[in-house]
Structure 1
Amino acid sequence: MILLIGGLGFIGSHVTRALVDLGRPCVLAQRRTGGVPDLLAGEIGGPVSVEQADVTDLKSLLAVGERHEITSIVYLAGAFGTDPADPVGGVRAGVDGLVNLFEAAVEWGVPRVGLASTIGVYDVTGDGPLREDMPLPMTAGHPIPAAKKVGELIGDHIGGAAGLEVLHYRIGAVWGPLGRPASRFFAVPQLVHRAVRGTVPALSGPGPAGAAPAGPAAYADDGMDTIYVKDCGRAIALLHTAERLGHRTYNVSGGRATTYREFATAITGVIPDAEIDLREGRDPNGLGRDVHLDISRLRQDTGYRHAYDTEAAVRDYVDWLRAGHER
């Protein structure tokens, strides 16, 4: 079985769904028991098992391997050390959990372990797509990519020493079912939710008093590399079911920059009377260029192709929200 840490979360639920669709049984290890997303509800007790385990508790993690034969591990935990109230404790717990994961992999004889990273590790300048073989600076402008860089270094070091095939998936801006209605990094979720419900604050200014921050302003000509979460889940599933892989680091994203104007066109194509709040031009404080990831490795090694273009993704997400789902 494929073990997913965070398998009931936003991306993890879609990775699990994709693995089940590929005929691979999964076990989901969660620190706390909670609700099961609708897209997995019919699979629990069948091809999907749920176990309560905490990666920071090695004993509870190893117990999962006593009940299931683990053949691969997908680690989708969030970035560690990002809590300003306890940065030291957060880093300690995050590193302990990662080391425990590798200890379990060695004990179980698991050959392949995958760690979620982020597009944010590419803190680089220059034109053209961002490739996995580009050198990365040791510094980072935000705690999340800083933590992910640390995780990649630990994974490469332990993987090489222990003979494990450790994968790093550098994920772009993900959006879609089960995701947060508002992101502080990009405005696509806000645009869709606002179009469907009219409840998310406008992006061109502050929201009502006491409301959550509106998030980043959306400039019509600014583009970003996004990936619909169903495509993201399938890409990661393919990386864990491929017989052979030629690399250890893979970009997982759309492979192109999509502008907010393109998203607005897709949204009004589904909801003609939608109010799309865009500013004209580009963000004067932005990069002045669009950034996207090169996903050639992913395509060549797994045969991955997008199932959702921008319009299809917007339509699917609108249908999901209109069906009564809050996220």
Structure 2
Amino acid sequence: MTILVTGGLGFIGSHTVVELIEQGEDCLIIDNLSKSVIDVLERIETIVHKKIPFIQLDLLDLDKLRTVFKENAITAVIHFAGFKSVGESVRNPLMYYQNNLMSTLNLLDVMKEFDVKKLVFSSSATVYGDLHTPPLKEDLSLHAPNPYGRTKLMLEEILQDIVAAQAGWSFALMRYFNPIGAHKSGLLGEMPFGVPNNLMPHILKAASGETSALQVFGGDYETEDGSCIRDFIHVMDLAKGHVKALNYIKAFEGCEAFNLGTGIGYSVFDLIRTFEDVNSVKVPFDIVARREGDIVASIADISKASMLLGWDAQYDLQAMCYDSWNWYQNILHSMTED
């Protein structure tokens, strides 16, 4: 019995594969390597001390995807594959709709053909938009403010429609907030391609001297220190949340959305100060103009995941900052050796 992990060499996918293996599951990874590198597979295998089956595959290739299901006893899918840059989605919305929607529809079509009806779907807190005052609960009305978020919202609605129309399906929609951190080994972490979309990679670059300063977008928000507030969550807590969701849908039919966060809001300056204190390093920064589309505060209500999944975040902000820096130093050292 095999769990198929799409996009399994990406940031969250790779950490989830580690957690799945450590929980005794057998995994098959597929990834098209458009936003990841094959070296990640070796790093996963080093951590779990076993070989992991891997197939380089684009989900848009329906025939090859069908072959994967034909040749493997897949029982459930955790679906991470997809483009995820908000800015890129605004610049090239057609690419995002074609890739994120069509790849998932292909996956669902083949799952139906082979009677594999259990899926953990990588969604996003982006689906809440900026309509609500945090903490954000799963039953709030949804509004995605950009093409990336709209692909997530559309797919959530598609999955809900499938459950309403056909018996036997089970979906978990994982809406996570701001993932940072890395595996404690220093072998796995976030490796963004091009200009990073998330805050932590920019902090790492500024702390290491790779860039001259971190740009803080806006210091005049109506918050205690003027910067935006976010719910940062350790990537290993996210990974554990996906495994808990997988266990949940093994036993239940239907479609449930789950927030994954800590339920605690930290400002951008909170994160910078904590990073500096934990790692004894300075993060030079410049305050620049607000970035279009940024919301003031985004914090999760995680009571549903706690109650139904038996999941709660275990790592604090200090651990997130320590593990991120440990990963980045390890990567810089390995690059210097090469």
Give TM-score, length-normalised by structure 2.
0.80
Query: Is the partner of 2:213 in helix, strand or coil?
Result: coil
The Cα offsets for residues 306-325 of structure 1, whole Å up to 9 and x where unpaired, read as 23210011111211222235
Of residues 66, 72, 77, the one that matches 1:73 is 77
User: Once the 2 structures are TM-superposed, how far is the Cα of residue 284 of structure 1 from its aligned partner?
Assistant: 11
1:1-327 matched pairs, under 5 angstroms: 1-32=2-33, 34-37=37-40, 39-42=43-46, 46=50, 48-79=52-83, 87-88=93-94, 90-137=96-143, 140-163=144-167, 164-176=169-181, 177-180=189-192, 186-195=198-207, 197-204=208-215, 216=217, 220-222=225-227, 223-242=229-248, 243-244=250-251, 248-277=256-285, 279=287, 289-325=296-332
User: Once the 2 structures are TM-superposed, how far is the Cα of residue 98 of structure 1 from its aligned partner?
Assistant: 1.7
Greater mean deviation of Cα atoms: 6-15 or 116-125: 116-125
Q: Flag structure 2 segments of 5+ consecutive residues without an equivalent.
A: 182-188
CA contact (8 A) 2:218 2:291 kept: no
Query: Is the partner of 2:171 in helix, strand or coil?
Result: strand
Structure 2 counterpart of 1:321, which letter? Y
Structure 2 counterpart of 1:191, which letter? I
CA contact (8 A) 2:45 2:52 kept: no
Structure having greater relative contact order (Cα 8 Å, sep ≥ 6): 2
CA contact (8 A) 1:225 1:258 kept: yes
Query: Is the partner of 2:53 in helix, strand or coil?
Result: strand
Structure 1 counterpart of 2:147, which letter? P
CA distance in 2, matches of 1:68, 1:151: 25
CA distance in 2, matches of 1:236, 1:25: 15
Q: How many residues in Structure 1 have an aligned counterpart in Structure 2? A: 313
What is the percentage of aligned positions where both structures have the same residue? 22
Answer 1 or 2: which has greater helix percent.
2
CA distance in 1, matches of 2:266, 2:80: 25
Greater mean deviation of Cα atoms: 268-277 or 314-323: 268-277
Change (3 A) 1:244 1:60: same
CA contact (8 A) 1:239 1:302 kept: yes
In structure 2, what is the equivalent of residue 207 of structure 1?
A: none
Q: CA RMSD in A?
A: 3.3
Structure 1 counterpart of 2:300, which letter? L
CA distance in 1, matches of 2:195, 2:271: 15
CA contact (8 A) 1:268 1:274 kept: yes
Change (3 A) 1:203 1:178: closer
In structure 2, what is the equivalent of residue 208 of structure 1?
A: none
Structure 2 counterpart of 1:110, which letter? V
Change (3 A) 1:25 1:86: same
User: Once the 2 structures are TM-superposed, how far is the Cα of residue 189 of structure 1 from its aligned partner?
Assistant: 2.7
CA distance in 2, matches of 1:47, 1:160: 39
Give TM-score, length-normalised by structure 1.
0.82
CA distance in 2, matches of 1:218, 1:247: 40
Structure 1 counterpart of 2:39, which letter? V
